[in-house]
Amino acid sequence: MISNADYRVTEGYGMLEEQQMKPERKEEEKTCHDCGVREGEIHHYGCDMERCPFCQGQLISCGCCYEKLNIDCSPGTWTYNNGLTEKESRRWVSILVEKGRIPYIRWPVLCSYCGKLWPEFFFVPDEEWEKYISLAHREDVVCEPCYNHIKKVIDGG
């Protein structure tokens, strides 16, 4: 049985929506889509979902390994063309382990305007997004109905 405490009522552009706060999730949603680890477990090395414990960016694409290992990876260098050596990779892994790798947690995605859980993504050209979404919220997720409402309000409609 679901109690009223499990629901939140949110107001978004004149409508009230009920949303379950703790939705029942399927088993496959509780695992990383890339490496398959369960929530609370450490990602497999090379997983595209692992966060860097130093910069919080995507571990496989941030430059922290080069910075922490003091390696020049600028264009034209051996490292730029070939990546880390096996020895450098082992050093990097030990640095990550010492710092503390970040376990997988599936954080919910919410529309920052109405609070809708897991809104469907849609495409907006950068120039249009920058016209309608204030600088403070440009990194936020906004569902398409809310985005259309914001556009309408700003355009005086």
If asked whether residues 86 and 124 sit together in one domain, one would say no
Domain count, the chain: 2
Q: Provide the β-strand partners of residue 7.
A: 20
The full length of the chain comes to: 157
Q: Which of 99, 125, 140 is the last residue of a domain?
A: 99
Segment 102-137, tens digit of pLDDT:
999 998 999 999 999 999 999 999 999 999 999 999
If asked whether residues 126 and 74 sit together in one domain, one would say no
Question: With contact defined as beta carbons under 8 Å apart, do 71 and 78 qualify?
Answer: no
* Position 116 in a domain: yes
Copy the structure tokens of residue 116.
Answer: 């809708």
> Which residues, at least 6 apart from 20, have a Cβ–Cβ distance to it below 8 Å?
2, 6, 7, 117
Range of the domain at 142: 4-25+107-154
Q: Is the pLDDT of residue 39 over 90?
A: yes
Name which of 15-29, 35-49, 78-92, 104-118 the model is least confident about.
Answer: 15-29
* Position 48 in a domain: yes
* Position 30 in a domain: no
If asked whether residues 85 and 116 sit together in one domain, one would say no
Q: Is the pLDDT of residue 46 over 80?
A: yes
Q: Is the pLDDT of residue 138 over 70?
A: yes
If asked whether residues 91 and 111 sit together in one domain, one would say no
Q: Which of 53, 77, 99 is the last residue of a domain?
A: 99
What pLDDT is attached to residue 114? 96
* Position 77 in a domain: yes
What pLDDT is attached to residue 7? 32
Question: With contact defined as beta carbons under 8 Å apart, do 115 and 10 qualify?
Answer: yes
How far apart, in whole angstroms, are the C-alpha atoms of residue 106 and residue 90? 28
Q: Which of 99, 127, 142 is the last residue of a domain?
A: 99
Q: What is the pTM of this model?
A: 0.63
Q: Is the pLDDT of residue 18 over 60?
A: no
